[in-house]
Structure 1
């Protein structure tokens, strides 16, 4: 296909040729390569096997590969060779120009398909990479990524799950890889660069990738005066103040307040929903708790939740329930009546 080529000195190379029969009876064609300098060798291959001749029927074409091995000390210059095919009554020839040149220096090329990705600190930052061994020798390429402190980086094959630290690449071939970068959950919004590096010992390549991290809300619930407990009377409403802080780097939106309390209790909030809380801001709400009227004195747990778009928090609020004083007075009244009944009984029957 290419009768004039440049090849690397000191290495074997191949040439692909075709032998076609344009409508004449089948012929046996003996193959040869003429004009080889001393110390050079050659071989013909057909269908993966060494051959010395080919038989081609009418309208048929045979694909043949010529493998040429120059002498180790062959000079780096141009050579004129002739490929011949000899039949019973004819001889075919194809001039070949072969130039031997110094080996190309080892080189690596590295590209990222999408070098900049955007998302929150919880997003997946996966970069598709292609590394090419642009040299005549097979190499093993070491993989590295220099990222900001706290960022985790891993290399994998494009469609594999095995983590890699190095990868073999054949001469003049490419390999598709994937770099996954995981930022810290509390990283501030901003752009962060990761420098991806490949090194084969004789060649290296680098390319940067960028994480454009958007802020995200981070909710924190705080009880009244920073406390996580309070007291209430059975059957009576008591109000506690709660605060929702946004410690994140983005607006917290549609924050809803809710609670999980013991059976028979009533808990509601005013307001029950906050449209938005800016970064570094806070919102206050009144939590109204009414223990069940038959609640026994003691400590109870109320789970308070704040849920917004992409952020949430919860706290356990301990409520110490005290019984109503009315019940205390009723109890004293019962005790007093019992004492009077007993005294009357003693007066009436005590002397018998």
Structure 2
């Protein structure tokens, strides 16, 4: 029997091999990328934009059943020159962690610092995770370093020029705008002259520093208080907001118009005198403008015991120039039922800008007329007795 040879065309064989290769490729492509490693080592933001000098922190995760319940060693496979970094868990630097396999868990953080003198460009840090079961994976962090234009962030004051008298608290509304790519913590300072006080507050709370997120702004109220006796003139208070990357500043201008001052006393400095019930006594008051701004419409008032009367020759002083003094007589009439003793009466002087007062001790005494009458009676009685004794004493 003649055997029949079957021949397959060469082109058909080639097509068959190509088809089988395509099927094999599709099957391999359908497999998970990290199937060989057994778990996925990742961070939420592996590629970020940074600036020179930034300190960064990446939360690291492990996902996959082969990572569950195993210890995983962490290491830095490669890092650009000048960069520094380490793994941290809680408050400690670590080289190995225990993984649960739940991708929601943060197994550790990777802390790295970008060199302050690094050139702009793209830099990669490769982290490596290897489990005790022989599984491993790499994580690539891509850092794009770019410089920020100077002056993007700012420290703005709404009304930088204010004026008033010494002792006035000047309040300035300012805003810090952080236009960098990172959250900044700004510390406040000022170069106020000696004796001045400068306070910073945010949301009604006094602060010495303030955290401002990237691309946002916060309001800051600056209160500047000069001393009571500061000289009139123009003053500038420089305020600064300094972070690790920026020093922002703003100038606050204060114009001191002068100092208000008013003193109330007597011409001899004594704050006590004697008086009698239902009888007028007078005391001369001395008002002095101890400031360097004229005072106007100064009113005189008093606070005396019930039933007493107090009046002034002039109850209103129209104007009192700086350094000038004016005398005013106060008339005091104690109540008719006032008993002998010491009483307190307060004399006050006030205007729109200043006030002063003096406390007087007034001693009420008994009327001397009754004493004279009693003395006359005593003398008369003595004279009568003397006459009787003289007349009848010789018998």
* TM-score when normalising by structure 2: 0.56
- Aligned equivalents of 1:313, 1:176: Cα separation in 2: 39
How far off is 1:207 after superposition? 1.7
| Other-structure match for 1:25 | none
Secondary structure at 1:208 match in 2: strand
Q: Which residue of 2 aligns with 1:191?
A: 234
Q: Which deviates more, 286-295 or 243-252?
A: 286-295
Task: Answer yes or no: is the 8 Å Cα contact 1:304–1:317 preserved in 2.
Answer: yes
Corresponding residue of 2:130? none
Residue by residue, what CA displacement relative to the aligned partner does 1:212-239 show, whole Å, maximum 9, x if unpaired?
A: 2333532111124111112234443232
Distance 1:339 1:260 in 2: 48
Q: Contact between 1:106 and 1:202, CA under 8 Å: does it hold in 2? A: no
Q: Which runs of 5+ in 2 are unaligned?
A: 1-46, 51-120, 126-143, 387-395
Correspondence 1:100-249 to 2 at 5 A:
102-104=146-148, 108-157=153-202, 160-249=203-292
Q: How do 1:69-108 and structure 2 match up within 5 A?
A: 72=123, 102-104=146-148, 108=153
In structure 1, what is the Cα distance between the partners aligned to 2:304 and 2:374?
A: 28
C-alpha RMSD of matched pairs (Å): 3.3
Pairs aligned (count): 254
Note the alpha carbon deviations across 1:85-107, whole angstroms, 9 max, x for none: xxxxxxxxxxxxxxx87332675
Corresponding residue number in structure 2 for 1:316:
359
Deviation, 1:182, is 2.1
2:311 matches 1:268 = yes
Find the counterpart in structure 1 of residue 328 from structure 2: 285
Deviation at 1:73, TM superposition (A): 5.1
Go from structure 1 to structure 2 and tell me whether the alpha carbon gap of 1:134 and 1:241 turns closer, same or farther (over 3 Å shift). Answer: same
The runs of 5 or more residues in structure 1 that have no matched partner are 1-9, 14-69, 75-99, 344-352
Decide whether aligned partners of structure 1 residues 224 and 293 sit closer, same or farther in structure 2, where only a CA change above 3 A counts.
farther
User: Structure 1's 291 and 335: CA in aligned 2 closer, same or farther, altered over 3 A?
Assistant: farther
Distance between the aligned counterparts of 2:300 and 2:148, measured in 1? 68
1:256 to 289, 299, 307: 299
- 2-side partners of 1:185 and 1:71: how far apart? 58
Give the Å deviation of 1:195: 0.6
Tell me: CA distance 1:135–1:294, structure 2 relative to 1, closer, same or farther (3 Å).
Answer: closer
Deviations 1:282-322 (A, max 9, x none): 11111122333454333222211112122111111122233
Distance apart, 1:333 and its partner CA? 5.1
* The structure with more radius of gyration: 2
Contact 1:224 1:240 in 2 (8 A): no
Matches within 5 A, 1:340-351: none
Per-residue deviation, residues 162-220 of structure 1 (Å, max 9, x unmatched): 11111122233332221112222333333222111011122212221012233353211
The 1:174–1:261 alpha-carbon spacing in structure 2 relative to 1, beyond 3 Å, is closer
Structure (1/2) with the larger helix percentage: 2
Counting strand residues as a fraction of each chain, which structure ranks higher?
1
Give the match's secondary structure for 1:72: strand
Q: Which has the higher mean CA deviation after the structures are superposed, 331-340 or 141-150?
A: 331-340
**CA distance change for structure 1 residues 262 and 138 in 2, over 3 Å: closer, same or farther?**
closer
8 Å CA contact 1:106–1:136 kept in 2: the answer is no
Q: Distance in 1 between matches of 2:235 and 2:339?
A: 57
Q: Residue in 2 aligned with 1:304?
A: 347
- Scaled by the length of structure 1, the TM-score of the pair is 0.63
Name the CA distance, whole Å, in 1 between partners of 2:220 and 2:307.
59
Partner of 1:36: none
